[in-house]
């Protein structure tokens, strides 16, 4: 499973953001999508969402990635 790292920079709006995602196993036999986002060069917020299987977690990560790309992340 590969990590996803996206950025969105727009100097005219003073925007410099990043969005990082990875799929990781939990201690309880489930899988989770770990998302981190914030301003480039600073610490960000982290959210962990558990899923019953690795496939479901990977599918959720792909869906989130597609949504972010539509919003201008690269």
CATH fold for domain 4-70: q64v53_bacfr protein fold (2.20.140)
pLDDT of residue 1: 61
Among candidate residues 47, 34, 40, the one with its CA nearest the CA of residue 74: 40
Inter-CA distances, 12 with 9, 15, 16, 58, Å: 9, 8, 10, 34
Contact 43, 19 (CB under 8 A): no
Q: What is the pTM of this model?
A: 0.87
User: What are the sequence ranges of the domains in the chain?
Assistant: 4-70
pLDDT in tens, 17-37: 999 999 999 999 999 999 999
């Amino acid at each position: 499973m590969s990590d996803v790292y996206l950025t969105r920079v727009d100097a005219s709006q003073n925007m410099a953001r990043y969005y990082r995602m990875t799929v990781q196993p939990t201690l309880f036999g489930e899988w989770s999508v770990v998302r981190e986002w914030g301003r480039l060069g600073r610490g960000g917020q982290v959210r962990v969402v558990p899923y019953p299987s690795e496939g479901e977690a990977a599918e959720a990560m792909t869906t989130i990635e597609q949504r972010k790309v539509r919003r201008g992340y690269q």
